[in-house]
Amino acid sequence: MKKKQILVVEDERIVAEDIKMRLEKLGYAVPGIAFSGEEAVKKAENMQPDLVLMDIVLEKKMSGIEAASIISSRFNIPIVYLTAYADNKTLERAKITEPFGYIIKPFEDRELHSIIEIALYKHTMERKLKKAQQELIQSEKLAALGRFSSGIAHEIKNPLGVILGGSEFLEMKLSQTDADIKTTIDKIKKSTLRANTIVEGLLKFARPSELKTERIKPNDLVNETLSLLKYRVPLRNIKVETHFAKEELYIEVDKDQMLQVFFNLLMNAIEAMPKGGKITIKTYKMAESEFSLDKYLCVIEIMDTGEGISKDNLRKLFEPFFTTKRDKKGIGLGLFMAKMIANNHKGDLVIDSKQRKGTTAKIILPLS
Amino acid sequence: MDKKILIIDDEEDFCYFVKQNLEAISNYEIIIANKGKKGIQIARKEKPDLILLDIMMPGIDGFEVLKRLKGNEKTQRIPVIMFTAKDEDEAKIKASGLYCEDYIVKPVENVVLRAKIHRVLDLRK
Ligand SMILES: Nc1ncnc2c1ncn2[C@@H]1O[C@H](COP(=O)(O)OP(=O)(O)O)[C@@H](O)[C@H]1O
Ligand SMILES: [Mg+2]
Q: What is the CATH number of the domain that holds A229?
A: 3.30.565.10
Tell me the C-alpha distance between A88 and A321, whole Å.
50
Across the interface, which of A154, A168, A172 has its CB nearest the CB of B85?
A: A154
Question: Is there a domain that residue A268 lies in?
Answer: yes
Interface probe for A, chosen from B12, B20, B61 (most Cβ of A below 10 Å), is B20
Q: Phi/psi of residue A215, each to 5°?
A: -90, 115
pLDDT of A82-100, one tens digit each? Answer: 887 667 777 777 777 778 8
E strands along chain A, which residues? 5-9, 29-34, 51-55, 79-83, 101-104, 213-216, 238-243, 251-254, 277-287, 296-304, 348-354, 358-366
Question: Is there a domain that residue A198 lies in?
Answer: yes
pLDDT of A101-122, one tens digit each? Answer: 888 888 899 999 999 999 999 8
Specify whether the CB–CB gap between A227 and A262 falls below 8 A: no
Tell me the C-alpha distance between B11 and B85, whole Å.
12
Q: Quick one: which atom of ligand 1 is closest to the CA of A332? A: 19
Q: Verify that A353 and A312 share a domain, yes or no.
A: yes
Q: Verify that A196 and A230 share a domain, yes or no.
A: no
Average pLDDT over residues A19-46: 93
Tell me the C-alpha distance between A52 and A363, whole Å.
35
End-of-domain residue from the set A143, A172, A206 = A206
Looking at residue A332, what is its pLDDT? 84
Question: Is there a domain that residue A217 lies in?
Answer: yes
CATH number of B4-120: 3.40.50.2300
User: Is the shortest distance between the CB of A272 and ligand 1 below 6 Å?
Assistant: yes
Q: Verify that A334 and A313 share a domain, yes or no.
A: yes
Task: Sketch the domain layout of chain B as residue ranges.
Answer: 4-120
Q: Which CATH number do you get for residue A13?
A: 3.40.50.2300
Handedness of CA A218, A220, A226, A228 (dihedral sign): negative
Specify whether the CB–CB gap between A131 and A93 falls below 8 A: no
pLDDT of A153-172, one tens digit each? Answer: 778 888 999 999 999 999 88
Q: Name the percent of chain B in helix, strand, coil, to the closest 5.
A: 45, 20, 35
End-of-domain residue from the set A181, A206, A231 = A206
Question: Looking at ligand 1, which residue's alpha carbon is closest to its atom 10?
Answer: A268
Q: How far is CA B108 from CA A58, A94, A148, A160, in A?
A: 72, 65, 23, 9
Whether residue A106 has a cis bond before it, omega within 30° of 0: yes
Q: Which residue range is the domain that position A161 belongs to?
A: 133-206
Q: How many domains does chain A have?
A: 3
Average pLDDT over residues A167-194: 87
Q: Verify that A264 and A356 share a domain, yes or no.
A: yes
Q: Verify that A73 and A193 share a domain, yes or no.
A: no
Question: Residue A172's Cα: distance from chain center in Å?
Answer: 48
End-of-domain residue from the set A107, A124, A152 = A107
pLDDT of B33-81, one tens digit each? Answer: 999 999 999 999 999 999 999 998 889 999 999 999 999 999 999 999 9
Question: Is there a domain that residue A126 lies in?
Answer: no
**Residue A297 CA to ligand 1 centre (angstroms):** 25
CB-based contact (8 Å) between A154 and chain B? Answer: yes
CB contact under 8 A, B14 and A165: yes
Q: Which CATH number do you get for residue A202?
A: 1.10.287
